[in-house]
Chains A and B, each alone.
Chain A
Amino acid sequence: MELKEENRNGTTLIEIEHIAKIYRMGTEYVHALRDITLQINKNDYLAIMGPSGSGKSTLMNIIGCLDTPTKGKYLFKEMDVSEMTDNDLASIRNKEIGFVFQTFNLLSRSTSLKNVELPLIYGGFGASARHEKAMKAMENVGLGDRVNHKPNELSGGQRQRVAVARALVTEPSIILADEPTGNLDSKTGLEIMNLFNELWKAGNTIIVVTHEEEVARFAKRIIKLRDGLIEHDSVNHHQRALTEEAQP
């Protein structure tokens, strides 16, 4: 139980205890999550897997403070998220969490740089600080020369890298990616995973939801969900490490 030991060292980022999420559809109740207990430490690299409808996205959204659980307790950096107001949640999302979506979710009318600046606007940064940070994030993902392109002038892989830059720009405590490669071909998907790998090595905490074994292999730890329950939680002994290997 090495995870518990790390906890004692004070590196726990997220503690989830007996969380459930129940949706009401008319008279029916859908148990998207039944009873999840989970701990995530700093610099974890977690892959969440499981069949469609097993509750991966629901769990991810709760971790990302986009959604709140119906039951149970969620502590983010020892703050009780289940008690928070809308504004508090927005503020956590802004400062602590970087989200990467399957469908990129970029503002189509804004340039990639403006997209990356968006979280900084809501974080209250001034124009010049915004520009500087966003430029740096764009360079980090290798798109320093695409800052004035709009999303529809970029390839899928480039769009996802813009989304990663947007997730990174506020230097969040954790990066959450819900099927980040789902809309990309395998080669571009690999590029994105490479990017995550580097971020992880630089000390970031990362959670990736995926269907693909190929993608999950990058993670340090793999969780399998089924019907709203954790079926399996283990260290990935076959972690596919390195950038060199990933390069075609």
Chain B
Amino acid sequence: MNIGESIFQAFDSVRTNKLRTFLTLLSISIGVFAIIGAGSLVDSINGSVFSEMEALGRNSFFIYRVPALNMGHNWRKYRKRKPITYSVLKELKKNMTLAEFVTAQGYSFGTTIEYGENETDPDVGLIGADENFFTAQNVSINKGRPFTQEDIDYNRSFAVIGNDIVVKLFPNIDPIAKKIKIKNHSYTVIGVLESKGAVLGESQDNRVIIPLTEFLKYYASLWEYDLFITIKSQDYESLNDAIDESIGIMRSVRNLKPWQENDFEVETNESLTEQFASFTDFLSYFGAFSGIIALIAAGVGIMNIMLVSVKERTREIGIRKAVGAKRRWILTQFIIEAITLCQIGGLIGIIMGIVASAFFGSLMSIKLVLPYSWVIFSIIICTLLGIIFGAYPAWKAAKLDPIDALRYE
């Protein structure tokens, strides 16, 4: 079968019917873009949020200022709430009796680390952590030591670095007690993390940890300034008691009168995970649905282009039939052409989708996860689109009478 020729022909029809083909390919691209964009974003959220939530286990809960998935209403009420500051975190730590630990952290992606003349690529994850971070995240130290509470309280310029940073900046030197620079602030390396290798092609060692207080001072983006506090109760049975205890402490720290509502949110890991899951499900279904609508519209366009192409090439079809092309050859040729057209549009959409989700991911400080399954889904959808909407024009071409086709002017 002459697939190459059919593919070439598809490119040719892009060239000869520029505007119409462009518009159709655009709508395919938009459709695929919606699918990939939503899929990629969802996968990225799942990757960074869920893995963390799951790691914490069932007996964790969170305290934060405004609902994570606030869909617009009550915005005014939430906006007036006081921020949850580092001192709130300290009060909780001091007064909680039913907690295994109380912790909070901040993330910022895409930082450059310097040491002497050398510097890393601007892709290092910067984490602001307290002394409980290492237990809560199950991160162990390979060399040196983790932070202590004093390091955090006194805002010491210390850093614990991941193995990628060691490889990059300290190839043959012991990094401990060396001074690294982040955005003109200087930090003394006090520890090196145990190497965790890569997950899904993403290195887990390309990070630097500094005290949370220091992080909040210099690196937190606006909405990260509010702490998202994680508390783990000693066991699942005491979870509710621990929640009650924390609410009591929060109310007194924030001077709430008995008749006033809580001016913060408390949510367990389980329920928050569920909320996130339903949100991300919604997002991916919404993306897939609107994408498919756009693709169906595009399919009609593809059909139109193919019908025009069949008409313009009637003589060619006649020639092919005259020299012995069977119906199914002509059918396959035109269907391959339709599929190729769809794939061109799809490829553009995939690229657009990945670029856009990378952009939004970086806005939301989430690492991009390449949505392989959505890419494959899009390729399959584009193929189906070509087959479904190419079928009718291809069938029209295939059943042309050779004499009529040859005589066509």
Give residues in A with beta carbon < 8 Å to B. Answer: 61, 64, 66-67, 86-87, 90-91, 93-95, 99, 101, 105-107, 109, 118-119, 121-123, 166, 170
Pick from B323, B325, B327: contact of A166, CB below 8 A.
B323
- Across-interface contacts of B325 in A (CB, < 8 A): 90, 94, 122
Output the least CB separation between A21 and chain B (Å).
Answer: 11
Q: Is the CB of A122 within 8 A of B326?
A: yes
The answer to whether B315 has its CB under 8 Å from any CB of chain A is yes
Known A61-B403, A66-B403, A105-B315; judge A118-B320 contact (CB<8 A). Answer: yes
- Across-interface contacts of B403 in A (CB, < 8 A): 61, 66-67
The answer to whether B406 has its CB under 8 Å from any CB of chain A is yes
* A to B contact number (C-beta, < 8 Å): 55
Pick from B12, B315, B318, B323: contact of A119, CB below 8 A.
B323
Known A121-B2, A122-B329; judge A105-B406 contact (CB<8 A). Answer: yes
Q: Is the CB of B322 within 8 A of A93?
A: yes
The answer to whether B367 has its CB under 8 Å from any CB of chain A is no
Pick from A101, A107, A123: contact of B324, CB below 8 A.
A123
Q: Whose C-beta in chain A lies nearest to the C-beta of B2?
A: A121
Chain A contact residues: over half helix, strand or loop, or mixed? helix
Pick from A66, A109, A122: contact of B12, CB below 8 A.
A109
Q: Is the CB of B323 within 8 A of A122?
A: yes
Most chain A CB within 10 A, of B315, B319, B320, B406, is at B319
Give residues in B with beta carbon < 8 Å to A. Answer: 2, 12, 315-316, 318-327, 329, 402-403, 406
Q: Is the CB of B324 within 8 A of A95?
A: yes
Q: Is the CB of A101 within 8 A of B323?
A: no
Instruction: Please report the C-alpha to C-alpha distance between residue A167 and residue B252 in the assembled complex, in whole angstroms.
Output: 97
Most chain A CB within 10 A, of B315, B322, B324, is at B324
- Across-interface contacts of A107 in B (CB, < 8 A): 316, 319
- Across-interface contacts of B402 in A (CB, < 8 A): 66-67
Most chain B CB within 10 A, of A94, A95, A166, is at A94
- Across-interface contacts of B2 in A (CB, < 8 A): 121
Instruction: Please report the C-alpha to C-alpha distance between residue A166 and residue B322 in the assembled complex, in whole angstroms.
Output: 11
Most chain A CB within 10 A, of B2, B325, B326, is at B326
Q: Is the CB of B324 within 8 A of A90?
A: yes
Known A61-B403, A66-B403, A105-B315; judge A91-B326 contact (CB<8 A). Answer: yes
Instruction: Please report the C-alpha to C-alpha distance between residue A122 and residue B323 in the assembled complex, in whole angstroms.
Output: 8
- Across-interface contacts of B12 in A (CB, < 8 A): 109
Q: Is the CB of A101 within 8 A of B406?
A: yes
Instruction: Please report the C-alpha to C-alpha distance between residue A101 and residue B321 in the assembled complex, in whole angstroms.
Output: 14
Q: Whose C-beta in chain A lies nearest to the C-beta of B323?
A: A119
Instruction: Please report the C-alpha to C-alpha distance between residue A94 and residue B325 in the assembled complex, in whole angstroms.
Output: 8
Q: Is the CB of B327 within 8 A of A119?
A: no
Q: Whose C-beta in chain A lies nearest to the C-beta of B325?
A: A122
